[in-house]
Amino acid sequence: MKLLVLGAGRVGSAMAIDLSRDSGFEVHVADRDTGSLDRLRTEQGIPGERVDFSLSSTVRRAVENYDLVISAVPGFLGYQTLKSVIEAGKPVVDIAFFPENPFELNDLAIQKGVVAVVDCGVAPGMSNLLVGHVHHLLDSTEDVEIYVGGLPVVREWPMEYRAVFSPIDVIEEYTRPARLVEGGAVVTKPALTELEQLGFPGIGTLEAFNTDGLRTLIDTIDAPTMKEKTLRYPGHVEKVRFLRHAGFFSETPIEVSGHEIRPIDLTTSLLFPMWQLKEGEEDVTVMRISVTGLKAGVRKRYTYDLFDRYDLQTSTTSMARTTGYTATVVARLLRDGVYDAPGVHPPEHLAPAPGCVDYILKGLAERGIAYQETIEDLAV
């Protein structure tokens, strides 16, 4: 099967390398950055081509000779890129995490006979799959909680953070209002709110805050209470709140010494180099998913814990592994015909399909990514 990875960044490269080791795929990559393409070609023998993802016609031409596509473009390009791939009639696994509603492309995907699995990373992604899995095990779902974060092992002042995925998408997490479900209704709260501290084995105390990570779960899971929070080292949120409230994330131009600049452009120019994960710098991914509900009259809580580390042998970041390998395992799942329903499908749609959850968990475990399941009986 000929497969094209759109995006040769940190996660895109990890996916291309993983898939290139599978004899069932002939892997190519596409990106605007010739440096990333040259590195994959020289170090891994993976061929690539330069593609401008901002042009729909160019994307359609780029994918026309492939059997399967993985989209790992930045979020602001994600929706249009996905639409272009579907228009070209190609099955696709998407980790762009764009802000638009992916279900708006469902009719087009069905019309084209295309399977499009969206939000197929770690969170959203595995969080969706496991919530969907438990939701279908229970008779009724009461409460869903998701806590997730990617962090550097070494805490370095002042931000004590590294952007383990697209930095501009990190800022989007800090500015986009968070949608939660409370009392059965969708409510919207500012990002970075309702700060709480929790302890996690292997890393200690982290702070959690509201972010807009429930995404499609709001529409697909019937539960009266659902929330998703991002994890950072304690103290990070206060610094980011200051930047946001002082206007550093504003896109409205201001005049400085006779020149108009957007504050966000200055902020990203200063922060992104500071946030850059250096070569060989280690990171971890922490996630806890908790789903509570009733089954045969018994109140149960299912918890899934993930603690994943940078891979020293392959020099692959934990976030690239946990995000990218979810997508590559799902690509194999589509290749093997385990799931073939046309339409736009977030991972929770795959959960009730026979064999899907076991296939994905097994594929990730083979790559050293293990989700620890705990099942508790609670008082009704």
> Would you say residue 63 lies in a domain?
yes
> Would you say residue 165 lies in a domain?
yes
CA of residue 230 relative to chain centroid, distance? 12
> Would you say residue 379 lies in a domain?
no
Note down pLDDT in tens along the chain; length 380 residues: 999 999 999 899 999 999 999 999 999 999 999 999 999 999 999 999 999 999 999 999 999 999 999 999 988 899 999 999 999 999 999 999 898 999 999 999 999 999 999 999 999 999 999 999 999 999 999 999 999 999 999 999 999 999 866 677 889 889 999 999 999 999 999 999 999 999 999 999 999 999 999 999 999 999 999 999 999 999 999 999 999 999 999 999 999 999 999 999 999 999 999 988 888 899 999 999 999 999 999 999 999 999 999 999 999 999 999 999 999 999 999 999 999 999 999 999 999 999 999 999 999 999 999 999 999 999 87
Percent of the chain with pLDDT over 90: 92
Same domain, 24 and 173: no
The count of structural domains within the chain is 2
> Would you say residue 290 lies in a domain?
yes
> Would you say residue 378 lies in a domain?
no
Where in the sequence is the domain holding 24, given as residue range(s)? Answer: 2-121+317-369
In sequence order, the β-bridge partners of residue 115 are: 343
Same domain, 219 and 358: no
Determine the Cα–Cα distance for residues 120 and 136; give it in Å rounded to an integer: 19
Same domain, 261 and 321: no
Contacts of 285 (CB under 8 A, 6+ apart): 122, 148, 149, 150, 151, 164, 306, 307, 308, 318, 319, 321, 322
Same domain, 140 and 76: no
Determine the Cα–Cα distance for residues 20 and 315; give it in Å rounded to an integer: 17
356 and 338 Cβ atoms separated by less than 8 Å:
yes
In sequence order, the β-bridge partners of residue 180 are: 187
pLDDT at position 100? 93
Domain final residue pick, 264, 281, 309: 309
User: Do β-strands 298-309 and 283-295 pair in parallel, antiparallel, or remain unpaired?
Assistant: antiparallel
> Would you say residue 380 lies in a domain?
no
Q: CATH no. for residue 304?
A: 3.30.360.10
Q: CATH no. for residue 40?
A: 3.40.50.720
Same domain, 328 and 216: no
Same domain, 273 and 334: no
DSSP string, 140-178: EEEEEEEEEEEEESS--TTT----SS-HHHHHHHHHSPE
